[in-house]
Amino acid sequence: MPNQTRRRIRNTLLLIIPFLVLLQVSLYLTLQWKFGAELNNDLWQRHVILFIFPHLIWIGSFYGFRLFDLLSYQHFWDVLQRIILASLISIVGSISFIYFQPELLLTP
């Protein structure tokens, strides 16, 4: 594998891993806020499993808009526009997933 390809994969992973951590921390804080002392390991695990698909929507959207590619960060306004568009698509996709799954544990 060429050196440049390895470097690009490494840089992508270095951007995706903190993004995944941010998604999990956000989920935990939201659950802590909603359930408080009632939050237990079983409830946490069920929500982690349920949020795999919305998290994949976010990762796919950000990847599709090349936000995990360091070489694409050249113009601030272009990057900001891509972040906003990727976020809007991710929000709509995630909300659609939650609302159109009537048997799902998740409710707003």
Number of other residues whose CB lies within 10 A of the CB of residue 16: 15
pTM value? 0.80
User: pLDDT class for 14, splitting at 50, 70, 90?
Assistant: confident
Across residues 60-80, what is the average pLDDT?
90
Residue 6 neighbours by CB under 8 Å, 6+ apart: none
Residue 108, pLDDT > 60, answer no
Cβ atoms of 27 and 48 within 8 Å: the answer is: yes
Across residues 66-82, what is the average pLDDT?
89
